[in-house]
Amino acid sequence: MSSRLKLPLLWALLLFAPMTPAASGSPHIIEFRSDLWPGATVREAPLRTVHFYTTGAEALKDDCLKQSSNEVAAFYGNAAGGLKFGARCGTLFVLVHDTLHPTMSDAARRFIGVHETFHIAAQIWGGPAPSVLIYGVRPKVSPRADKFFADLANALNSRAGKGDLQVDVDIAREYQSLSPDDRATVDYFSALEWPAEYYAFKAMASERPDWNMKSYLAVREEIGNEPSYRAAVAAGLELDGRLGSGTWEERVFKGDSMFTLLARLGSVNLDKVDLIQVTDYPLSF
């Protein structure tokens, strides 16, 4: 099911008036690549560029943000940390509070930037997006749900896309045995976070010849080694192996989550994801 939404503010968006964008070639500039996720659309071509910053000092070197120095300083001065999305100069912005990961590697910072680029460029600006992006509250992963994600990743990684029907059935049955709250947690991550995580995995592989699963796990360890995220890459590789890369990605913009696609391999049909199309995205005050 899909609905349309007009929303003036989105996840406490930073909105800035037009100025000159940062120079191309900056390590803080990330281009959304629709070739890595067929079916993803961006409503206006210039807004495929995302400027990503993890410190106020970095952000304020960007000409687009200089006249909003008070807002930038307030965000980075807030000890609570967090994440802000915004748009200005025909450019999308992602600001991440560096106090969350002050010593992370360049690879980990890049991975976060690419992951968040999928959220803002493909889901928010492109869409349609899972409704939990707007209306949902990020669930706390219970020990039972955490075990499910870990078991899922292990089962999928162990067979590497070879297609064992019994494993498909077991995965679907384990999901159905979860409590309603735990199933909602799986639904949340598989609809919203898994596509962004797997997109980032593929984007890093396209940028770095030595990128592999070991590289990913090292980066994920730095960021936070939650099975709820690690399961995304296992699921993506499984879907690529079973359905073919480039054949299933569009379905996540048509009401499937990556988990509903997995469940269908085990002949279990789950409810589709509720989608919304965000319109009238504001570009200035």
**What pLDDT, in 10s, does the model give residues 119-174?**
988 888 887 888 887 777 889 999 999 999 999 998 888 765 555 666 777 888 88
Q: Which residues pair with 4 in a beta bridge?
A: 277
In angstroms, rounded to a whole number, what is the distance separating the alpha carbons of residues 153 and 167?
A: 12
Distant-in-sequence, close-in-space partners of 57: CB < 8 Å, separation ≥ 6: none
C-alpha distances (whole Å) from 67 to each of 71, 117, 259, 260 are 9, 23, 43, 45
Q: Are 249 and 240 in contact (CB under 8 A)?
A: no
In angstroms, rounded to a whole number, what is the distance separating the alpha carbons of residues 272 and 267?
A: 15
3-state secondary structure of 22: coil
User: In 10 A of CB 30, how many CB atoms?
Assistant: 22
C-alpha distances (whole Å) from 156 to each of 159, 162, 184, 241 are 6, 9, 21, 11
Three-point CA angle 37, 97, 136, nearest 5°: 55
Predicted TM-score of the model (pTM): 0.85
Least confident piece of the model among 85-89, 112-116, 156-160, 191-195: 156-160
In angstroms, rounded to a whole number, what is the distance separating the alpha carbons of residues 74 and 64?
A: 17
pLDDT in tens, 206-219: 999 999 999 999 99
Instruction: List the one residue out of 105, 127, 68 whose CA is nearest residue 284.
Output: 68
pLDDT tops 50 at residue 178: yes
